[in-house]
Amino acid sequence: MTAGDKLFGRLLKRAPAAAHELPDHLGAPPIGLHFYLDGNGDVLQIAGPLRHLLAQHKPQGQPLPLRAYLLPHSLLSVEGQPRDWHGQLLDLDFTGLNDQPLHLRGWVQPLNDGWQLQMLDIADLLLERQQARDRDACQTLAAQVSDRLRTCSLTRLPTVLGEQLQAIAQRWHIPCLAVALLDEQAQGWQIHQQFRGHDAPQLWEDGQPLGTPLDSLNGSAPQRLAGPQGRYEHSRLQATFGNANGFAVPYSNDQGVVAWLLCGFYTVDNVAPWLTDRDWLTLAGALAGPLLSRLREQRHVQSMERLDSLQNLLGTGWWEISAEEQIALAPTLASALNLSDRLLPVGDWLSLFHPADRAELRSRLRALQLQGEALTLSVRLHRAEVGAAATWYRIQGQVSGTGEHRRLVGFMLDISDIQNQQQRAAAAHARLDNLIASSPAVIYVQRYAEGALIPAFFSASLQPLLGWTLEDCDTTALVERVHPDDRELYFQRNRQLLREGSVRARYRLRDNRGEYHWLLDEAKLLRNDLGLPVEAVGLWLDVTDATLAAEQVRQSEERYRILVEDSPAMICRYRPDLTLIFGNRPLATYLECTPEQLPGVDLGGWMSEEQRGAFVQRLSQLTPEQPVSTAEISLQLPGREHAWWVWSDRGVFDEHGQLIEVQAVGRDNTEVRRSQQQLTQSAKMATLGEMATGLAHEINQPLNVMRMAIVNVLKRLGNGDVQVDYLTDKLNRIDAQVQRAAKVVDHMRVFGRRSEIEQQLFNPAQAIEGTLSLLAEGMRGKGVDLRISETAFEAQVRGYVDQLEQVLINLMVNARDALLGKREHDPAFKPWISIYAERDEESVRLWVEDNGGGIDPRLLERIFEPFFTTKPIGVGTGLGLSVSYGIIANMGGQLSVRNSTEGARFCIELPIASDDQITR
């Protein structure tokens, strides 16, 4: 036997036949398949039992080469001629019947003038090798899956599980693969996670419940489930596997079957026939075992996190007392108790609690240690802060285990909120009981019986309020105690309560002394589940004082209304935009309408724009601290002259200090104002009369100058000595004097005119200039020195320029008369009058000062009184300074006087107009 024959025998564990035992090429070999080949490798004869398994080849005259019988991947093994194959072990795959391959192994040896190819069937050997490789691959993959599931983090567990399902599905060509776990809450199976190929239909979804059909399967071995062509072991499994072929592999532990590996659209016997049930169980265990372990670990971690969170939220934690009288506390509990050490002696732990609770806790703890009595006690922590809220803990404990394993364990729960609320509720309940017992409110219950409401309960406050008891308040007695005028209202109250379920009524009840009380009755009807009345719960509130007070208020309001309507004053209410809300009859009569027509009317419609702006600005300055303002307003009523009202406003403000309404009272001041105007005008004309002599001098002086100029010109003309320059100079002088006289006459005409109705903005320097144009020359002509300081300045005041000029003229004329009278007694006296002005940010002051010796101090307080004068009888009216004082006050200023070192010093102080007044 050749070396190749021996090697082939060892591989097949069979001994090949000796060469001399081979039949000739025309005989029938006992085993295998034999080919008789010529030198080129063409098949001359086929023999052996396996020749019937070859595909039929029909030679057409010529023998076929050996290559024609082989599958394509075996052609490389038979390149060349048979002599080249001699001494080699050949593994060849032949084309069998129904295209089933024949796996053969053999060798060639010379036979006669040809070659003998002897082949033996090695299909069993290849199958065992393939099964061994697949089992090794299954074990390797199972180890890999188990290792990755055990070592991955909990956060990546779903991702890693999906990757391992994909690896298994791709390795064993499974279209749909899923892990089903037992859902303890739903008492059924649930798809934990699934994988499907990209071309596979959707069979399961993550989290999909499967119910209990898997329980019907045999949990000890994999289950091959037939599809439409077969039959399921349980009819409900058809929906689980989509009516297709399926394969289910169980995973069991000490609790039984706890997981299934489900393979959908999969015929395991055809795709992976070499894998045994044990291989599939190993693969399912490698997948489900670590998964369940990691899920338990995850649940444990989540449980511990929830426990820690719960302990932190509730301020609770466990404790355990050891045999060495040491107590161990949970970290959260130690932190809540402000302890740096979690292990401390029991005595130190007991010292944390209030002394009032410490002795009982020690006794109950000793009973737990000795008798095993369960510990349940609420205690307070001992706090050093006075007045701080108490911290309460509920301590519970029990004995766990026996013998050497006996342990004293328990927990502490922070119940401060509950305990403090209970204490507050108890205190509030006590206060409420005391309040009900001492208040005029009576709580009652009326029982519903056959359509009637029968008194069943009254609070203790009934006795002090009405002097009754429950026995005094049956239905008949209660009705008899209702005031006769209110009984119909009481019966209506009962009907409304039964019909609508709630009622609020007010009626009078008689007490045991025979006196009536006004009671506010509020009640609610309670019904059962069927909607039928059961009882009425309500209260009586003694509102006798409030009712009597309300009646008094109503009567007072009626008197107030009559007073407002019949008052001669104009009374109204309006909003900040001047829209009237209410007006009484005098106001409506003045405005020629009815009181009903006043609401909604704009009060500012009768004012000029300037008057309205000033009115609104005055209202804007009202505050809760200074809510009242009084002023004189001017109205332009249609078809009538201007009217003046003295108007007083009072602002009404909300809680934020915002003006919401104005209440006003006014009176007609038109006649008084017109009298003042007439008085002012009369005083002005009197001033002009007093200035007549001086004004005549003011006019005669220019006339004399013109006369002298004309006389001189006529002389020159008579002498024939007339020059153009001379004539021009004289004519210019005459023109200047004419303008001077005309200016005086024009200013006299303006000064004598009536003042404007409304005040105007002007510069006080204009009044000084006008006064000097009328008086300067006359003063100087009488020997009075005028000392005029710089008066040109920029300032605007509100008032009447002609009236200010009138005041200045009065002051200067009075000063002139006093100076001239003094000079009569002292010819050497040098009189002077000084006029100067100054200003600051808020006001302008005009000063008129003289050197006449001043005013008797005893007369300074009376100098501005009407008809008061120091001049002789028949000289002066005594109204100049009084009128001047009123003019300055009407302009919002002040006229004052005091004595200086040489004489009297008058000051006119006027407020400077604000920027918004100037721009308005």
363-384 tens-digit pLDDT: 988 888 888 888 899 888 887 6
The amino acid sitting at 168 is I
Q: Residue 224's beta-bridge partner residues?
A: 247
pLDDT band, residue 435 (cuts 50/70/90): low
pLDDT band, residue 740 (cuts 50/70/90): low
- Over residues 599-624, the pLDDT tens digits come to 888 888 878 887 888 888 888 888 98
For strand 659-668 and strand 785-788, is the pairing parallel, antiparallel, or unpaired?
A: unpaired
> DSSP H helical segments within 315-354, as ranges?
331-336, 346-350
Question: From CA 266, how far away is CA 272, in angstroms rounded?
Answer: 10
Least confident segment among 146-155, 192-201, 274-283? 274-283
**Structural tokens at position 119:** 């082949």
Q: Residue 847's beta-bridge partner residues?
A: 836, 907
Its pTM stands at 0.37
Looking at per-residue confidence, does 599 or 244 come out higher? 599
Overall average pLDDT of the 798-817 stretch: 84
- Residue 19: DSSP 8-state: G
By the 8 A CB rule, do 912 and 796 touch?
Answer: yes
Q: Which helix (H) or strand (E) holds 788?
A: strand 785-788
Least confident segment among 142-146, 493-497, 664-668, 689-693? 689-693
SS (H, E, C) 37-55: ECCCCEEEEEECHHHHHEC
| pLDDT more than 70, % of the chain | 80
What the chain holds in terms of domains, given with CATH numbers, is 3-121 (3.30.450), 149-302 (3.30.450.40), 320-422 (3.30.450.20), 439-549 (3.30.450.20), 567-668 (3.30.450.20), 676-915 (3.30.565.10)
pLDDT at 908: 92
Residue 408 CB contacts under 8 Å (≥ 6 apart), including other chains: 320, 321, 368, 369, 397, 398, 399, 400
pLDDT band, residue 907 (cuts 50/70/90): very high
pLDDT band, residue 849 (cuts 50/70/90): very high
Assess whether pLDDT exceeds 80 at residue 914: no
Looking at per-residue confidence, does 51 or 487 come out higher? 487
Question: From CA 185, how far away is CA 299, in angstroms rounded?
Answer: 14
Overall average pLDDT of the 537-543 stretch: 87
pLDDT at 121: 80
Q: 465 by DSSP, 3-state: which? A: helix
Assess whether pLDDT exceeds 50 at residue 265: yes
Q: Is 664 exposed, middle or buried (0-12, 13-18, 19+ CB in 10 A)?
A: buried
By the 8 A CB rule, do 287 and 179 touch?
Answer: yes
* 658 to 366, 527, 576, 612, 622: CA distances (angstroms): 71, 49, 10, 21, 10
Assess whether pLDDT exceeds 70 at residue 417: yes
* 775 to 327, 696, 736, 765: CA distances (angstroms): 113, 11, 19, 15
Assess whether pLDDT exceeds 70 at residue 547: yes
Give the orientation angle of helix 801-825 with respect to helix 670-690, to 10 degrees: 40
Question: From CA 665, how far away is CA 718, in angstroms rounded?
Answer: 80
pLDDT at 788: 85
pLDDT at 24: 47
Q: 786 by DSSP, 3-state: which? A: strand
- Over residues 57-93, the pLDDT tens digits come to 665 667 888 888 888 877 777 888 888 888 888 888 8
Query: In the predicted model, what is the mean pLDDT of the chain?
Result: 79
By the 8 A CB rule, do 219 and 257 touch?
Answer: yes
- Over residues 688-722, the pLDDT tens digits come to 555 555 555 566 566 666 766 677 777 767 777 76
Overall average pLDDT of the 319-338 stretch: 84
Phi-psi label, residue 393: left if phi above 0, alpha if psi -120 to 50, beta otherwise: beta
| pLDDT more than 90, % of the chain | 6
Question: From CA 219, how far away is CA 256, in angstroms rounded?
Answer: 8
Strand intervals (E) in 823-893: 832-839, 843-850
Looking at per-residue confidence, does 708 or 355 come out higher? 355
By the 8 A CB rule, do 415 and 393 touch?
Answer: yes
Triad 86, 89, 92: Cα angle to 5°:
110
pLDDT band, residue 194 (cuts 50/70/90): very high
Least confident segment among 56-70, 407-421, 466-480, 658-672? 56-70
Assess whether pLDDT exceeds 90 at residue 179: yes
